[in-house]
Every structure is written in C-alpha cells, then in structure tokens.
C-alpha cells in the first residue's frame, strides 16, 4: 500500500490561517499531479487557545508531532498575549524539542518580483542562509536577579556548543557542494567582539572546511559588514552559515531584498527527524482577515519539504516553479508592492 504522508497543520495566529489555506491548496495540487497520498491533522495551538484555556503547547503535543512526516506552521504571535509566551512556548519549543537544528532560509528573487535594490535582478539575489536553530542567545538560558529594583540584573546567555555549531557548519558545506554554484561558504559572525562563542564557530568552520571540504572556498564576514553587502553586492553570496540570532536578523534583511516578507520561506530541519516548514513572516495582526497578505512565502515553505519519493525531485522542482509563476500571474502576485501585504487568493 502506498505510504500516506502525515502532515501536522498548525495555522496559528493572525494571518497564519489564511496563508496556510493557500499553501495546502498547492500541496493538494501537487499530490494530485504526482500521485502521492497525504493527510493533514489540524492543531489549534496559538494565542486564541492560550487566552481561552491557558495552555500554550503541552509536552504531549511534542510527542504527537514525532509521529508525523512533517509539520506545517502558519504564524505565531497574538496582540493580547505578552511577547515571548507564544514565540518561546510554541515556535522555539517545537524547534528545540524536535531538535530542528537547521533553519534553512533561501534568499531568492523570483522573476517579476520588484526588488528595492537598484540594478539588481534574479541573477544577483540567489543565496541561502543556514541559521543554527537550537542554541545561541535564543537558548533560554539566563534570568533576573533583583527584578524590579534599582539593582536589577538580567542576562541572556549565548549558549554555543562545538557540536551545535559544527553540525550547522557541516550542513552548510554540504549544501554549498550540492548547489555547485560558487562552491563557496561564508561564515557570518562577530569574531572581533564575541571572542568566545564566535571563536568556537571560527575554529569549527576552518577545521571542518580544511579536513572535509577542500573544494569549498571559505569566506568570512562580520555581521555588520554582511548587512552592508546584502544591499551593495548580494551576488557575492552563495551559502551563509551563522548563529541563531544573527541568522534571524539578517534573513529579515534578506527577505526585503528578495521582494518582502511575503515571499520569504523557511524550513526548520531535523535531517534525521521531523521538520517544520513556515513562512518567515509573523502573524501580522494588523492585516488579519483582509485578504491582503501574499501567501507565496507559505506556499514556497510547503514546497521546501522533500518530495515523498526521491525520484520525484526534479519533477517536483519544475512543478513548484510552475505553480509559483502560474499562481503569480493568475492572482496578480507577479508585481506585488514592495511591502509584504499585497494580494491573496481563495481559489
Ligand atoms: C523567526 C521569528 C522567530 C525567531 C520568533 C517569532 C521567535 O522571528 O522565525 O525568524 O526569532 O526565530
Ligand atoms: Mn525572525
């Protein structure tokens, strides 16, 4: 009997549900075209459920997710819930507990999408950020002392392990080899200030590269300089590897040069386990229910899941590209305004 691919569907908050509907239509069309079976199981974790029940995401849900082939997430964040509760309690909890140690974020300008950079086109903006996804300053380590007093002390600790940085670095070297574009990997960090944690990254990067990837050119950029080059010379990049927080920040800049947050997709990958796919934008409560949000990011995120059979790989890529351009033309997304809030579809 053919395998049925089990997808856990978490539409989440704000615009999450409306972009998820569009992404699932493309998954359905792909299943019909390629003849694979799948089923989705909805989960209502998010701000509304938290406000009603006080429950964020129980450990039992993590246990359930382990039985799925993939998780699809819309967006997390609710205006009536204090910052951090849902983000840490749902999104980061899933990433950490399922050990989704890679956050893969392609920065690709599609043809026909307006780019805010002067004289840059699709050939110039086509690189991938490999963001380490389980440690760094987002690990949750830290706390308060004397909170609320004049002597208040607060810390967030940048937790870096050789194991965590090295597995992200190895993934990125492999990707640079597989892309076979410039055969180049940039480490983006701040070795001149974070002389402990980024020294671990620096040594791992060079040792791994020298021992196992002599065919891949190693480049380094301080994060502040990298931001400048994203704007000035985005064509210099092929694959970038960086830590959790720097990856979070530079991929919003990356999203803007690829046409806006409505276009930028990501995969939280556990190459040996269950991965989660999501647009990188947030829940944009201001635009909820207006049918204005470009769902392309959500659609591309859904397409980042490995095709169910490896032999479908090439046809899948062709199909995803065709789906993107067809959908764009049909619904007027080919020329979205530079901001992410644009058009939507109900077909
Ligand atoms: C992202 C988001 C999240 C992150 C937040 C919502 C926790 O900004 O996926 O980029 O920082 O990772
Ligand atoms: Mn972010």
Q: pLDDT by residue (tens digit) across 21-64? A: 999 999 999 999 989 999 999 999 999 999 999 999 999 999 99
Non-local CB neighbours of 52 within 8 Å, separated by 6+ positions: none
Residue 333 has pLDDT above 70, yes or no: no
Helix, strand or coil, per DSSP, at residue 279: strand
pLDDT tens per residue across span 221-268:
999 999 999 999 999 999 999 999 999 999 999 999 999 999 999 999
Bridge partners for 267 per DSSP: 104, 277
Give the span between the Cα atoms of 112 and 24, in whole angstroms. Answer: 24
Catalytic residue (one of 72, 138, 213, 287): 138
Check residue 305 and give its pLDDT: 86
Question: Could you tell me the CATH superfamily of domain 4-331?
Answer: Isopropylmalate Dehydrogenase (3.40.718.10)
Check residue 324 and give its pLDDT: 53
Q: Scan for tokens 């009997």, then name that residue.
A: 1
CB-based pocket (< 6 A), ligand 1: 87, 91-92, 248, 280
CA 16 to centroid of ligand 2, rounded, Å: 15
Tokens standing for 44?
Answer: 């209502």
Q: Is 138 a catalytic residue?
A: yes
Percent of the chain with pLDDT over 90: 85
How would you label 129-148 residue by residue, b for 16+ Cβ within 10 Å and e otherwise?
Answer: bbbbbbbbbbbeeeeeeeee
Q: Is 44 a catalytic residue?
A: no
Residue 140 has pLDDT above 90, yes or no: yes
Nearest alpha carbon, ligand 1 atom 4? 248
pLDDT tens per residue across span 268-318:
999 999 999 999 999 999 999 998 899 999 999 999 987 555 445 565 566
Q: Distance between alpha carbon 199 and the CA centroid of its chain, in Å?
A: 25
CA 256 to centroid of ligand 2, rounded, Å: 12
Nearest alpha carbon, ligand 1 atom 10? 248
Ligand nearest to the CA of 266: 1
The pTM assigned to this predicted structure is 0.90
Domain coordinates in residue numbering, the chain: 4-331
Please give the DSSP secondary-structure letter assigned to residue 3.
P
pLDDT tens per residue across span 95-120:
999 999 999 999 999 999 999 999 99
Q: At what angle do helices 296-303 and 16-34 cross, to 10 degrees?
A: 40
pLDDT band at 338 (very low <50, low <70, confident <90, very high): very low
Q: Is 339 a catalytic residue?
A: no
Sign of CA dihedral 276, 159, 60, 13: negative
CA 14 to centroid of ligand 1, rounded, Å: 15
- Contact yes or no for 141/157 (Cβ under 8 A): yes
Neighbours of 258 (CB within 10 A): 27
Check residue 309 and give its pLDDT: 55
Tokens standing for 317?
Answer: 């890529």
Ligand nearest to the CA of 131: 1
Ligand nearest to the CA of 133: 1
Q: Is 224 a catalytic residue?
A: yes
Q: Is 67 a catalytic residue?
A: no
């Amino acid at each position: 009997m053919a395998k049925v691919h089990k997808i856990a569907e978490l539409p989440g908050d704000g615009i999450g549900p409306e972009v998820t509907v569009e992404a699932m239509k493309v998954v359905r069309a792909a299943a019909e075209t390629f003849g694979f079976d799948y089923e989705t199981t909805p989960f209502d974790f998010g701000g509304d459920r938290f406000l009603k029940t006080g429950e964020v995401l129980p450990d039992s849900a993590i246990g359930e997710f382990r039985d799925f082939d993939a998780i699809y997430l819309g967006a997390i964040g609710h205006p009536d819930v204090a910052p951090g509760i849902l983000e840490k309690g749902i999104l980061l909890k899933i990433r950490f507990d399922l050990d989704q140690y890679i956050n893969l974020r392609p920065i690709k300008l599609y043809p026909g999408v307006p780019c805010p950079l002067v004289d840059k086109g699709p050939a110039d903006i086509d690189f991938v950020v490999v963001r380490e996804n389980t440690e760094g300053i987002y690990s949750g380590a830290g706390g308060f002392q004397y909170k609320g007093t004049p002597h208040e002390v607060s810390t967030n600790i940048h937790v870096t392990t050789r194991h965590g940085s090295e597995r992200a670095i190895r993934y990125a070297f492999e990707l640079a080899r597989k892309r076979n574009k410039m055969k180049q990997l940039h480490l983006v960090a701040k070795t001149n200030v974070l002389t402990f944690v980024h020294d671990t990254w620096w040594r791992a990067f060079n040792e791994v590269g020298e021992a196992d990837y002599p065919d891949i050119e190693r480049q380094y950029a301080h994060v502040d300089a990298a931001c400048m080059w994203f704007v000035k010379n985005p064509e210099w990049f092929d694959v970038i590897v960086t830590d959790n927080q720097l990856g979070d920040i530079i991929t919003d800049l990356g999203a803007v040069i690829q046409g806006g947050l409505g276009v930028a997709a990501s995969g939280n990958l556990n190459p040996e386990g269950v991965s989660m796919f999501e647009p990188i934008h947030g829940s944009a409560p201001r635009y909820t229910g207006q049918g204005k949000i470009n769902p392309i990011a959500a659609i591309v995120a859904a397409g980042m899941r490995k095709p169910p059979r490896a032999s479908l790989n090439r046809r899948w890529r062709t199909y995803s590209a065709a789906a993107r351009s067809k959908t764009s033309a049909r619904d007027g997304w080919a020329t979205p305004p530079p901001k992410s809030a644009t058009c939507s579809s109900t077909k």
